[in-house]
Amino acid sequence: GESVGLHLPTLSVQEGDNSIINCAYSNSASDYFIWYKQESGKGPQFIIDIRSNMDKRQGQRVTVLLNKTVKHLSLQIAATQPGDSAVYFCAENSGGSNYKLTFGKGTLLTVNP
Amino acid sequence: NAGVTQTPKFQVLKTGQSMTLQCAQDMNHEYMSWYRQDPGMGLRLIHYSVGAGITDQGEVPNGYNVSRSTTEDFPLRLLSAAPSQTSVYFCASSYSRGIETQYFGPGTRLLVL
């Protein structure tokens, strides 16, 4: 079946560096994508979202890029801080659904001081 | 606001036992959902509700029942627990009618022996 996946299961960066977390999706009908951050023992926390009519969206220290041609999504974190250490998930609205999300498996980001 | 609350935090069941995982939100959100998270995997949607009296199945609904008698509460029932239902369960709610900007609860860790 179609699913959302991640290229890298773990990512280790130095404090102050920029981080890039990647995600591949295969359902071409999906048109809404979300990045979540999950800290140990907590529920996922919304970071940023993007619709398919955009290819880039920026938030505070985060940028999401969407490449529909190759079905690829990325999350860029600027000046990574120790508090950014967490598991990051991408999610897509399953085939364009307004009510169902399909999550990727997650990438563990570790920030070294 | 307390946000999304879940009880209990942790539960151990024997195979065949039944139980209800509680979820409540005080933000007057229409959309609520239940996910399960297994090790090394992203969240998978079990059931969701777009308002009181309205529920529908997600990706992995078998073995679970839900009801939505009020806007605030969305309990998840396991009628006959199985070891395959050992997981961490997250409830979420959204002010929109769908999946946008969901707020997740802290989770319930369930162990079925």
Residue of B nearest to A44 (CA): B104
For chain B, percent of residues with pLDDT exceeding 90: 88
Percent of chain A with pLDDT over 90: 78
Which residues of chain B have a CB within 8 Å of the CB of A94?
A: 59
How far, in Å, CA of A28 to CA of B75, rounded? 33
Question: Shortest Cα distance from B43 to chain A (angstroms)?
Answer: 6
Q: Which two tokens stand for residue A94?
A: 């399953």
CA distance B75 to B70: 10
List chain B residues with CB under 8 Å of A34: 99
Q: Please give, one letter per residue, the 3-state secondary structure of B49-87.
A: EEECCEEEECCCCCCEEECCCCCCECCEEECCCCHHHCE
Q: Is 90 exceeded by the pLDDT of residue B98?
A: no
| B53/chain A closest Cα distance in angstroms | 16
**Section B55-83 average pLDDT:** 97
Q: Tell whether B75 is within 8 A of chain A (Cβ).
A: no
B35, pLDDT greater than 50 = yes
